[in-house]
Chains A and B, each alone.
Chain A
Amino acid sequence: MSNEKNVSVIVNGSEVKFVTPSHRTLLEALRHEGFVEIKCGCEKGDCGACAVLLDGEPVDSCLTLAWHVDGREVTTIKGIGHHGKADPLQKAFIETGAAQCGYCTPGIIIAAKSLLKDNPNPSLADIKRGLSGNLCRCTGYTRIFEAVQLAAKELRAEGEAA
């Protein structure tokens, strides 16, 4: 039994090293390391604001122990895309006006990214299931669903052109 561990994790392509106690969540550890694009919401796995990709799969970083990410890869919203190099999902959120206060947006785009990787042509029901772990208290979701549909269409068009 122990309560401290050296963790080395690749975040958005770069190695990050830190020492973590066993009871620190990935959310706390990465925000402490400066990755404040990961948002802290409910801290119990309901709202999805803290979602990141862990080895490509979406997880709530508030439920993940930092201890467990040693040797793995994390992608935050900044790893999905940024100013000047936005992901089609991010462009679609701007295009459709899917963000209001924006607090839930990073987590929703992370969940949507994972959905579109597995299912490039999702139905509305598929999108709702894919975003079932994300809460938005501003928009009523309609424009978020439109944004995911738009991004899916763009990505399929890109795929056909390539």
Chain B
Amino acid sequence: MLPPFDLCEPQSLADALQALSKHSDARPLAGATNLVPDLRDKRETCRNFISLEALDELRYIKRDGGRVTLGARTTIADILDDDGMKTDAPALYASAQIFGGAMVRTAATIGGNICCGSPSADSVPPLLTLDADVTLSSACGERTVPIDEFYVDYKKTVMRSDEMLTSVSWNVPPQGSANLFYKLARRKGDAITVTGVAVMIAVQGGVCSTARIALGSVGPTIFRAGAAEDMLMGKALSEDIIEQAAKAAADRCSPIDDIRAGAGYRLQTAHSLTRRLVTQAWQQIA
């Protein structure tokens, strides 16, 4: 049994934002695939929810020039059903393939995965390597925040209680780029990530022109390894350079011991997976 809670079901985004500004203790409820277990296990204490179930206006994949925008209610299954996502967001598509299980993918939304703030949210490292922006809407307007600045601490974001994430957007990766994701877990799918790594590497004139490395489950938030990225920029990547960058990425991690893995194992795998993915990416494009 779930604990009792109040629910309202607005029929438009405008009504949902009004409800959110009126009830400062209320939170949006979308796919609820995290929320229901959290309520059941008493990790979630909120008892006022605003259901986004009726808001089809937030369920879309739009393309405008080189820009892709997903409405927050777009499900993980919707991403997999859209063949264009294989090239528009290769790492995000890869993460969607091993996201939860098939039934969870039907219900879980991209907005929910971003907003849950979990360090193991699988869509987030790919979105960080795409340099995505999230749109936060409220009854007073909206603002755009780079996803790299969205998370401030474990399950804490810059979003105000009267705001709701309504979309996420990014530029399609350029020609001559590789965008990869690897999820280390006990099994492929239906498992919580032990270490998650995404990379975006682009080459121009024989040197690395874009380097983005994002790591999940190895710190209180998912983050970009900026020092490691800087070590790759402007260089023709050698085994040596990649190894140094992988070490710098691991140095940026602050993992914990938990039921899934020890901190030492997470550090070691953050190092080796960064090395592996940057190497693979460079081999694909150089």
Interface residues of A (CB under 8 A from B): 1-3, 21-25, 28, 43-46, 48, 51, 54, 57-60, 62-65, 67-68, 111, 114-115, 128-135
Contacts and interface: CB of A to CB of B under 8 A. Distances in A.
B103 A133 contact: yes
Given A63-B36, A65-B32, A3 B103 contact: no
A130 B80 CA distance: 12
B67 interface: no
Contacts of B7: 1-3, 22, 65, 67
A63 B189 contact: no
B103 A2 contact: no
A67 B51 contact: yes
Contacts, number: 109
Contact of A63 (B3, B4, B33, B48): B33
B188 interface: yes
B119 to A, nearest CB: 19
Contacts of B23: 1
Given A63-B36, A132-B188, A135-B190, A22 B102 contact: no
Contacts of B26: 1
12 contacts: A1-B7, A1-B48, A46-B190, A48-B102, A54-B106, A63-B32, A64-B32, A65-B7, A68-B51, A132-B102, A133-B103, A134-B101
A59 B106 CA distance: 6
Nearest to B36: A63
> 7 smallest A-B Cβ distances: which pairs?
A133-B101, A132-B189, A44-B37, A22-B7, A1-B6, A23-B2, A60-B103
